[in-house]
Structure 1
Amino acid sequence: MDALNKISATWQDLMDNKSDPRTTNWFLMSSPLPTVMICLTYVYLVKIVGPALMENRKPFQLRKIIVVYNFLQVLLSAWLFWGLGKSGWFTNYSYRCQPVDLSYSAQAIQMTHFCWWYYFSKFTEFFDTFFFVLRKRYDQVSTLHVIHHGIMPFSVWWGVKFMPGGHSTFFGLLNTFVHIIMYTYYMLAAMGPQVQKYLWWKKYLTILQMIQFVGIFTHCFQLIFHNPCNYSYIFVYWIGGHGVLFYFLFRSFYQQAYVAKSKSVKNDEPNDKKTLIVDDNENIVEYKKHYETKRDSITQINKALAKHL
Structure 2
Amino acid sequence: EYLNSNTISSSPWLPMVIVAGYLWLVQKVLPAFMANRKPYNLNTAIRIYNLLQVVMNGYICYLYVKLMNEKTLQFWTISCNHVSKANNFEPDIKRRAEDLGYLYYINKIIDLTETICFLLRKKNQQVTFLHIYHHCIMVPNTWISTFYFKEETSTFLAAVNSFIHILMYTYYFLSNLGPRLQKYLWWKRYITLFQIIQFVMLLCLFGKLYHEECGCSNYYLALWSLTITSFLILFCMFYVKSYKKKIN
Query: Structure 2 length normalisation: TM-score?
Result: 0.89
SS at match of 2:36: coil
- Equivalent residue for 2:141? 155
Aligned length, in residue pairs: 241
Q: Residue type of the partner of 2:66?
A: K
Which of 85, 88, 94 is the equivalent residue of 1:108? 94
Post-superposition offset of 1:24: 2.4
Structure 2: 5+ residue stretches without partners: none
Query: Displacement of 1:104 after TM fit?
Result: 8.2
1:67 matches 2:47: yes
Q: Distance in 1 between matches of 2:195 and 2:178?
A: 24
Q: Which residue of structure 2 lines up, in the alignment, with residue 187 of structure 1?
A: 173
Give the corresponding residue for 1:132.
Answer: 118
The equivalent of 1:98 in structure 2 is: 80
Aligned-pair identity (%): 33
Q: Which residues of structure 1 form unaligned runs of 5+?
A: 1-20, 266-309
Mapped to 1, the partners of 2:210 and 2:149 lie a distance apart of 18
Match of 2:140, as an amino acid?
A: F
Aligned to 1:282: none
Q: Quick one: which amino acid aligns to residue 50 of structure 1?
A: L
Say yes or no: does 1:50 pair with 2:21.
no
Q: Deviations over 1:202-252 (max 9, x none)?
A: 11111011111111111111123222x221111111112222111111111
1:120 aligns with 2:106: yes
After TM superposition, the structure 1 = structure 2 runs for residues 1-309 of structure 1, keeping only pairs within 5 Å, are 23-25=3-5, 27-88=7-68, 91=71, 94-96=75-77, 97-99=79-81, 105-227=91-213, 229-259=214-244, 261-263=245-247, 265=248
Structure with the greater alpha carbon radius of gyration: 1
CA RMSD of aligned residues (A): 2.1
Is the CA contact 1:168–1:236 (under 8 Å) kept in the aligned structure 2? no
**Bigger strand share:** 1
Give a deviation string over 1:242-269, Cα, whole Å, max 9, x none: 221111111111111222x135x2xxxx
> Which structure ranks higher in relative contact order (CA pairs < 8 Å, sequence separation ≥ 6)?
2
Deviation, structure 1 residue 82? 1.0
- Distance in 1, matches of 2:54 and 2:65, equals 16
Offset of residue 168 of structure 1? 3.4
Measure, in 1, the Cα distance between the counterparts of 2:80 and 2:105.
20
Select the structure that is richer in helix.
2
